[in-house]
Amino acid sequence: MSTSTDRQHYREVLAQIAERAKERLPQATNGRLESAVALVLHGDVEPQDDGTVTVYSASDATRRYILQGQSCTCTDFTSGKAPGGWCKHRISAGLHKRLHQVLARETPADLNPALGAASSLPEARASLNFKAQVGAYEVMVTLRGDTEAELFERLQAVLKRPDIRPLPARPAPRQGQWKKAYQGR
> Could you tell me the CA-to-CA distances from 66 to 15, 20, 21 in Å, in that order?
24, 25, 21
- Cβ neighbours for 135, distance < 8 A, ≥ 6 positions apart: 163
28-73 confidence digits (pLDDT tens) = 887 899 999 999 999 999 999 999 999 998 888 789 999 999 999 9
pLDDT score, position 110 = 37
Beta bridge partners of 67: 53, 72
Contact between 6 and 119 under an 8 Å Cβ cutoff? The reply is yes
pLDDT score, position 13 = 93
> Could you tell me the CA-to-CA distances from 30 to 97, 108, 119, 183 in Å, in that order?
22, 37, 32, 56
Give the number of domains in the chain: 2
92 and 149 housed in the same domain: no
80 and 156 housed in the same domain: no
Q: Tell me, what DSSP letter sits at residue 84?
A: G
96 and 139 housed in the same domain: no
Average pLDDT over residues 149-163: 83
11 and 102 housed in the same domain: yes
Q: Which residue has the higher pLDDT, 24 or 122?
A: 24
In a domain, 51, yes or no: yes
pLDDT score, position 111 = 46
8 and 97 housed in the same domain: yes
pLDDT score, position 135 = 77
Answer yes or no: is pLDDT of 20 > 80: yes
Average pLDDT over residues 166-176: 68
Contact between 103 and 92 under an 8 Å Cβ cutoff? The reply is no
69-124 confidence digits (pLDDT tens) = 999 999 999 999 999 999 999 999 999 999 999 988 885 543 444 444 444 455 66
In a domain, 90, yes or no: yes
In a domain, 119, yes or no: no
Residue ranges of alpha helices (H) inside the chain are 3-24, 32-41, 75-78, 88-106, 148-159, 178-182
Range of the domain at 148: 126-165
130 and 41 housed in the same domain: no
153 and 86 housed in the same domain: no
Our CA angle for 35, 130, 144, nearest 5°, is 20
50-62 confidence digits (pLDDT tens) = 999 999 988 887 8
Contact between 29 and 77 under an 8 Å Cβ cutoff? The reply is no
Instruction: Residue 139: count other Cβ atoms within 10 Å of its Cβ.
Output: 13
